[in-house]
Structure 1
Amino acid sequence: MATVPADKSAKMSTAAAKSFVDTYYPALNSSRADIASFYMPAANMPDGKPLPVIVFNGNIIPDPTAMQTLFQEQMPEARYEVQDYDCHVLNPHYIAEGQSGHSPASGKNMTILITVSGYVKYGDVRAATMRGFSESIVLIPNPLATGNTKGKPMKEWLIQSQNFRLVV
């Protein structure tokens, strides 16, 4: 099995984390119809548990469509402000079941843990109280983005697991 050098893995995971943070949180603020596209397609683990695993402030969300519906139909207007994020490679040799994966030289056969902290205001953002949040997200490479050379640009990384918590 080819191993990607640690410096390339660090650069790739950092770029993936930055790209994710720079697109996901603005979508929560204003492009809620796109939220489901940030998640891997619904699947089951070998033990039958569903993927992706989504926990929003202690509530289990069954799938990406339900997460999008929650934000579109139940959540008030929101303004997320990311203060800090960090990332770590969890699995440097990830290949999705039934997929051949990216070329090992691409550095994209990995799972990445991103921890994010910041503030959010719900409701009328001019009058709302700012609340802290903390979030842990596991990203996997999007197998459909492999070799995508035409059409709409695809997200290169998708959420496999997410745990969001308001902290204050």
Structure 2
Amino acid sequence: MALPTPETQAKVASEAAQSFVDHFYETLNKRRPLAPFYASASPRLTAAGVVPDISINGLVLPSVSAYESLLDTQAGGGGAGAGGSGSSGSAHVNYDVASFDAHPVNPVFRIGEPETDAGAAVKSGDRLSFAVQVSGVVRYGRGRRDDATAGAGGNGDDDAPLEKPFNEAFLLVPHWEAWARNAPRGLRRWVIVSQNFRAL
């Protein structure tokens, strides 16, 4: 099998990263289930021993459900292990992406790859693994600063959401079941095998 050209790799990585970033952070902000974004959603990858590696501010988490539990704690006002403390009594955390960049890593990722006929349906560039680097701001709390009341005895500063810059790095690989003929609808075509989040 011929390797995809550098141009094909860059195009596939760029388009897949745009889709991933749009959908992942929307899902995160709306507190919907995150499991479909991870390698553990793929029986083929799981059978090959691929387990998502999730690190949040240096805390290594054993599973996607552990990450979701940490997010629930964070949104409830704790969150010390996930990037800071939220506003007391708030149940809202919002991730605002400022920029992202994508780079091909392996033009032909093979772990868990389907055999013969199923694999023949995969197009050039569709076996690519790629890295995504994201930066932005995470906001804890729903408050809005009211400059008219801030400093005038009001609680404008107290109501302002706590904001922290963040960097997040991902490594994504093909979700083999999503590329199969007659694949179930809604499967992500690339899934996370590594995630490293840092609030600054």
Partners of 1:69 and 1:39 lie apart in 2 by: 16
- Count of equivalent residues: 162
Q: Counterpart of 1:14?
A: 14
- 2:170/2:193 contact within 8 Å kept: yes
Structure 1 residues 10 and 17, CA, compared in 2 at 3 Å: closer, same or farther? same
Moved more, 96-105 or 121-130: 96-105
Q: Counterpart of 1:27?
A: 27
Q: Counterpart of 2:165?
A: 132
Unaligned runs of 5+ in 1: none
Tell me, what secondary structure is at the counterpart of 2:34? helix
Partners of 1:16 and 1:98 lie apart in 2 by: 19
Unaligned runs of 5+ in 2: 76-91, 145-159
CA RMSD in angstroms comes to: 2.2
Tell me, what secondary structure is at the counterpart of 1:90? strand
Identity %: 33
Residues 5-154 of structure 1: matches in 2 within 5 Å? 5-30=5-30, 32-41=31-40, 43=46, 51-71=51-71, 73-76=72-75, 77-97=92-112, 99-100=114-115, 101=119, 103=121, 105-126=123-144, 127-149=160-182, 151-154=184-187
The 4+ residue runs of structure 1 with deviation greater than 6 A are none
Look up the equivalent residue of 1:144 and give its one-letter code: E
Q: Counterpart of 1:157?
A: 190
Q: In terms of Rg, which structure is larger?
A: 2
Moved more, 35-44 or 12-21: 35-44
Look up the equivalent residue of 1:83 and give its one-letter code: A
Normalising by structure 2, what TM-score? 0.73
Q: Deviations over 1:64-120 (max 9, x none)?
A: 12212322x312121111111001111111022363357463311111000000001
Partners of 1:44 and 1:58 lie apart in 2 by: 27
Look up the equivalent residue of 1:136 and give its one-letter code: A
